[in-house]
Structure 1
């Protein structure tokens, strides 16, 4: 499996987007990796590439984290492999665009399970190990949407509000045990997320590599919060100045346009 290094990072949602770019960054810095995703083909290809290029150890785990049992199964598989997780990256997430009453409730439940329940379980199980060692780092991926209500993407924004609140709370709790918790709040990012959610990408969307670099840098500097890009920082600052109903109106206009654009592209496509 390559040359054994000292520290290991576990990254969920590693097969594409921000998780894929983070996997490459950690590999470049010679971290061993445990990579988790549903797409075993992509995981296998990425694992092979990272082992060949960087001589690190890589373990891949195929799991669907929209099933909450998967989080515990990942933990016990890592434990049975005698792998110590020094850095936990909860990156996996999903969304769905459209009017709340029109979206299948099963999609909402999958979103809540993946974005909230599995993230919480993984953080709980691995942070207990970190507390015993009095050392560790956790990166939880939230969103600029954590700061405002999200018509047309209501459940997704609500799940990311949870991630931000939860992460800031445990940042306070775990600091005394030598554990840092960093929350990443990206805005629109060029990944497969938008397509899966049923919307088009914003033209000003950041590329996943740039977001991953900001996240990695912030994590290594033990930053509490990382908001990549000046536009996203500005958007968050502005959202704090207005009441929820005003923010909701602005978000609805943007999300509705992106949803309609995606539907148009699909028809033409």
Structure 2
């Protein structure tokens, strides 16, 4: 029975990955900060699908957290066949006005922990010549996004990094996928302090996390390097940078995401 490790597993896309993979008879290692939520999810999935579920309570925004998770897995004797780097968050507002500590924490979680975990677990996959990694980015990865500047920049890194890993490892039987969802039912907007007025006026329907996960796993089965979920509108959004001059695109996004009173 294969084993999947999922970060940010206590809710949203992470919890949806856990449920879908449990149904597909994967043993699970669930990583997040909330012990209570992880225990509740683990108990439910173990009972419903008769699988093994291990939880690791870890704040991945802490320096060295990825190594701590890896060492905990090695100590327990688990082999990770699928790594899902899902943990991450965003922050809305003018960059210069937002807390610097929050921006640096975002880099630590969205980039550093993801790189750390990918590097550590990929070595074993290359040795075995098997394994898969799913790195969760966003449609924000495809263009600069004023007022979500750091978030978009970190996700652009994830997209570029993941596609490079895909090319480096595909001939070894290792699959690497960058998942780029559009607006999804999760706690993202609340954590990012995204204005309710902007979220409601965008006209985009929030996609169920379960649908995002199913699309991701289909793309992984096809060994695609990236997948954009959420329908035709999101396909237009991610291809806009190819069609519009850079400055025109960024100015248009700035007007779209500018909050009232800016």
TM-score, normalised to structure 1's length?
Answer: 0.91
**Structure 2 residue aligned with 1:247:** 249
**Structure 2 residue aligned with 1:213:** 214
**Structure 2 residue aligned with 1:184:** 179
More deviation in 223-232 or 92-101? 223-232
**Structure 2 residue aligned with 1:265:** none
**Structure 1 residue aligned with 2:5:** 10
Equivalent positions of 1:46-125 (< 5 A) are: 46-125=41-120
CA distance in structure 2 between the aligned counterparts of 1:207 and 1:29, rounded to whole angstroms: 19
1:20 aligns with 2:23: no
More deviation in 27-36 or 182-191? 182-191
Per-residue deviation at 1:253? 2.6
CA distance in structure 1 between the aligned counterparts of 2:252 and 2:19, rounded to whole angstroms: 36
CA distance in structure 2 between the aligned counterparts of 1:73 and 1:141, rounded to whole angstroms: 21
User: Alpha-carbon deviations, 1:114-168, whole Å to 9, x = none?
Assistant: 0000000000000000000000101001111111111001011000000001011
User: Alpha-carbon deviations, 1:17-58, whole Å to 9, x = none?
Assistant: 111111100000000000001111111110000000000000
CA distance in structure 2 between the aligned counterparts of 1:167 and 1:189, rounded to whole angstroms: 21
Equivalent positions of 1:185-204 (< 5 A) are: 185-199=180-194, 200=196, 201=199, 202-204=202-204
- Compared with structure 1, are the counterparts of its residues 67 and 97 closer, same or farther at alpha carbon in structure 2 (3 Å cutoff)? same
**Structure 2 residue aligned with 1:135:** 130
Question: How big is the alpha-carbon RMSD for the aligned residues of Structure 1 and Structure 2?
Answer: 1.4
User: Among 222, 230, 233, which residue is 1:231 paired with?
Assistant: 233
1:43 aligns with 2:34: no
CA distance in structure 2 between the aligned counterparts of 1:164 and 1:191, rounded to whole angstroms: 21
CA distance in structure 1 between the aligned counterparts of 2:86 and 2:258, rounded to whole angstroms: 26
Structure 1 runs not aligned, ≥5 long: 1-5, 262-269
CA distance in structure 1 between the aligned counterparts of 2:15 and 2:46, rounded to whole angstroms: 14
Contact 1:68 1:114 in 2 (8 A): no
Contact 1:22 1:216 in 2 (8 A): no
Q: Which runs of 4+ in 1 moved over 6 A?
A: none
**Structure 2 residue aligned with 1:170:** 165
Per-residue deviation at 1:203? 4.4
Contact 1:147 1:240 in 2 (8 A): no
CA distance in structure 1 between the aligned counterparts of 2:149 and 2:100, rounded to whole angstroms: 12
Number of aligned residue pairs: give it: 254
TM-score, normalised to structure 2's length?
Answer: 0.93
User: Alpha-carbon deviations, 1:55-114, whole Å to 9, x = none?
Assistant: 000000111111131100000000000000000000111110000000111001100000
